[in-house]
Amino acid sequence: MQMEPPFACVLKSIDPAAKITVFSLPKGYQKTDRFCKFTAIYFCCAPILFAQSTLVMKSAKVLIVEDELLIAGSIRRYLEQQGYEVVGTATSVATAQRLYENARPDLALLDIRLQGEKSGLDMARFIQQQARPIPFIFLTSQFDKQTLEAAKSTYPAGYLSKPIQRASLLSTIEIALHNHERSSSMDADIKLVERSKHYIVPVSEILYLQSEHIYVRVYLRTGQEILQRGSLGDLLRQLPGKQFLQVHRSFVVNTRMVSRYDQDFLFVDEVAIPVSRSRKKALERVITQDRS
């Protein structure tokens, strides 16, 4: 399919195996939001996501949408006792939407039947329309077939029947957050730039990063290397925090690519990478949590 781009852009190559698109801008052209939008549409890929996964399960922000105040109060108490931050309680979709836009929660609990014309299903559709949708869990005391089918069409992260049981609530939330974070980090892309070439790379394709003075060399599973100007810290902040870890002042690794490690080194694709003593425990903790 031929499309007229909004400006001249030279397609260098498309590697379907590595899922990487390489293109370059005309000489002297600067990066703009318009350019980013164009690449997302023209190459039929998802908008570029600068994944910064700083989510910690027990400090996640939760929005409660429930019109029965006693139930909402109990849920809030359960969550705060566990260390979650409740950003607000809404009894209507209009209030819930305002809270959502102001607080940007990590997860929402939605009562299907609410006061007023709109229901929890409408709030679920609102969440789905956001640039970065969050997981949501339905709360209900009735699950007739029609309601169930309508709820399924919104792809919730879970269902909880009233009366809400504390153990079920907490376990359902933790699983929903874990699954969402893992899915987000696997699906996310990052944009890398080497001179006039621009790369859209799935973060799952990155093996490790190495600092080289004012540059960072990015090693990919395909064997390709991309040299980007910038600091290791700047690039690390664009990557999923639970997947990528700085193990040495000069190295960041994709922990899911670590095959083994010993007292002084870890191994990624048989490449030995030094591990600082101060970072060894963090490495062991992340690998254990990720593979448990």
CATH number of the domain at 10-50+188-291, out of 3.30.505.10, 3.30.70.360, 3.40.50.1000, 2.40.50.1020?
2.40.50.1020
pTM of the model as a whole: 0.51
Q: Is the model more confident about 276 or about 56?
A: 276
Predicted pLDDT of residue 42:
33
Average pLDDT over residues 133-138: 93
Predicted pLDDT of residue 184:
65
pLDDT exceeds cutoff 80 at 80? yes
> Per mean pLDDT, which of 88-102, 133-147, 171-185 is the most reliable?
88-102
Rounded distance, CA 249 to CA 275, Å?
Answer: 9
Q: Domains of the chain: which residue ranges?
A: 10-50+188-291, 57-185
Helix (H, G, I), strand (E, B) or coil at 35: helix
pLDDT exceeds cutoff 70 at 5? no
Residue 268 and residue 261 in contact, taking contact as beta carbons nearer than 8 Å: no
Each residue's pLDDT tens digit, 104-133: 999 999 999 998 889 999 999 999 888 678
Q: Residue 44, by phi and psi: left (phi above 0), alpha (psi -120 to 50) or beta?
A: left
Average pLDDT over residues 221-227: 93
Any idea which fold 57-185 has?
A: Rossmann fold (3.40.50)
Q: Is the model more confident about 281 or about 289?
A: 281
The region of weakest confidence among 43-47, 136-140, 198-202, 208-212 is: 43-47
C-alpha distance from residue 16 to each of 35, 196, 278 (Å): 22, 21, 39
